[in-house]
Structure 1
Amino acid sequence: MQHFYVLRIKNWKRWGLLVTAALFSAVFLWVEVESSFSVFSTEENPAALSKGSEKDPNIALTFNVSWGNEKIEPTLEQLKKHQIKATFFVSGEWAERHPDLVKKIKDDNHEIGMMGYRYKNYVEQELEQVRKDLIYAKEIFNKLGYPDTKLLRTPSGHFNPEILELAESQGYKVIHWNVNPQDWKNPGEQQIIDHVMSNTKNGDIILLHASDSVKQTPEALEIILPGLKNKGFEYVTISELISRAESDEKVVE
């Protein structure tokens, strides 16, 4: 009995180590996906941009679009009313179906990024399938007249080091975010407003949506857009955010 008891203790220790390792891995993956990433990539460590320089009051307002055609114009109207430029990340499939709306976004001097062709989680696909999706998306954006689309937001915001490396090898900068009111859940206009207003800081990238699934965002923008301006923030596109952050980095060096 004593020998059996010792074996059980050893087994418990072994299982304890396995559980601890699993928890560590889970926490590590959560941090990789949800926390702020490096502003710049290196040859050894490709990274996603989730924040610009904290030294300047620049912020980037971004919108994901992958479905529907009813919320784009109300969103653009709010941006035009408050004289704000944003960056729109659109899927190639959506752009192919709504070239007139993509043109309207561009004509209003907003920046266009992409989310691949089909809005499907990259992490759940084979890397070769992700490669094909990016290649096809590039063909679509070229055909529509946007050959310089180099900003990529992965579908659902999920990625791993292999996807980052693949994206950068094809010339894309992967763009994440660090302010997310989850407006796609339609939690209420005031909750969207409160989250953005209380969490936005210098250099932040704000994630909102302009797909038909969001019902409250255009109205929330009526308060958010002037509200952040009144707090001293300056709206810039993602490319401008990168450019200014790079300038700050060179000054530091």
Structure 2
Amino acid sequence: MSRALDPAENRPLLELSRERRAVAITVDDGPDPRYTPAVLAALRRHGIRATFFVVGRNAAAHPALVRAIADEGHHLANHSWSHPDLRHLPEAQVRAELQRTSELLEKATGRATTWFRAPGGDWAPVTMRVCSALGLRPMGWSVDPADWARPGTAKITSRVLGAVRPGSIVLNHDGGGDRSQTVAALRAYLPVLIDRGYAFTAPP
């Protein structure tokens, strides 16, 4: 049984410590059989460990991809079961969305699920209560290139490179639509960040 969070843990983490020249790559809305393997390949090429915030029903539909993410050393985290707007759901339904996803991930990996990201980054009081009760730490982001809107590979790349600083948490998407621009942008900006001296980390 997960322990309830203390108040300090029950605030969305928006960035990491700035003491190290490190950033966190996060990937939302998958797994997706078209784009998740390509994202994994881009990360593998540079030996980067990321955090994948998976949608439970997608994880249930693609268990081999869940195992691939875990087997390559990435962190699997909770992004709800069906990606609803949690702000407008009763508490029991919010709890079901989070708990069902955590249980699926824990069964798949043998490890407790520790992080949750609200769909859309919309943190409602009810969501925070449920996170605390389930022992899920909330994580947001500090760099959002709006790749979900498909503004073009060049724009995604320039937005990331223009905004990243030590401690940044970078938002990407591998599900929810055509993510070919995201894949291409990852291939473009990851080596630039490496050349700039950044290391990559996943929150504990």
Counterpart of 1:221?
186
Kept after mapping to 1: 8 A contact 2:51/2:77: yes
Unaligned runs of 5+ in 1: 1-40, 240-253
For residues 208 and 45 of structure 1, the distance between their equivalents in structure 2, rounded to whole angstroms, comes to 24
Counterpart of 1:164?
128
CA 1:147–1:83 in 2, change beyond 3 Å: closer, same or farther? closer
**TM-score, with normalisation over the residues of structure 1?**
0.74
Show CA shifts across 1:19-52 (max 9, x none).
xxxxxxxxxxxxxxxxxxxxxx853883100111
Counterpart of 2:89?
125
**In angstroms, what is the RMSD of aligned CA positions?**
1.8
Counterpart of 1:92?
56
For residues 238 and 160 of structure 1, the distance between their equivalents in structure 2, rounded to whole angstroms, comes to 22
Q: Does 1:237 align with 2:198?
A: no
Q: Does 1:76 align with 2:37?
A: no
For residues 68 and 82 of structure 1, the distance between their equivalents in structure 2, rounded to whole angstroms, comes to 21
For residues 125-144 of structure 1, the aligned pairs below 5 Å read 125-144=89-108
Runs of 4+, deviation exceeding 4 Å: none
**TM-score, with normalisation over the residues of structure 2?**
0.91
Pick the aligned partner of 1:103 from 55, 61, 67.
Answer: 67
Letter in 2 for 1:237: A
Quote the offset at 1:126 in angstroms: 1.5
Q: Does 1:178 align with 2:127?
A: no
Quote the offset at 1:161 in angstroms: 3.0
Q: Does 1:195 align with 2:176?
A: no
- Matched position secondary structure for 2:57: helix
CA 1:44–1:196 in 2, change beyond 3 Å: closer, same or farther? closer
For residues 113 and 27 of structure 2, the distance between their equivalents in structure 1, rounded to whole angstroms, comes to 15
For residues 186 and 235 of structure 1, the distance between their equivalents in structure 2, rounded to whole angstroms, comes to 25
Quote the offset at 1:116 in angstroms: 1.8
Show CA shifts across 1:192-247 (max 9, x none).
110000100111100001114322111111221111111121100122xxxxxxxx
Q: How many residues align?
A: 199
For residues 114 and 168 of structure 2, the distance between their equivalents in structure 1, rounded to whole angstroms, comes to 20
Quote the offset at 1:65 in angstroms: 2.3
For residues 117 and 134 of structure 2, the distance between their equivalents in structure 1, rounded to whole angstroms, comes to 14
For residues 115 and 153 of structure 1, the distance between their equivalents in structure 2, rounded to whole angstroms, comes to 5
Pick the aligned partner of 1:63 from 7, 27, 44.
Answer: 27
For residues 173 and 180 of structure 1, the distance between their equivalents in structure 2, rounded to whole angstroms, comes to 20
For residues 117 and 90 of structure 2, the distance between their equivalents in structure 1, rounded to whole angstroms, comes to 18
More helix by share: 1
Relative contact order: is structure 1 or structure 2 higher (C-alpha 8 Å, sep ≥ 6)?
2
Quote the offset at 1:120 in angstroms: 0.7
Quote the offset at 1:135 in angstroms: 2.1
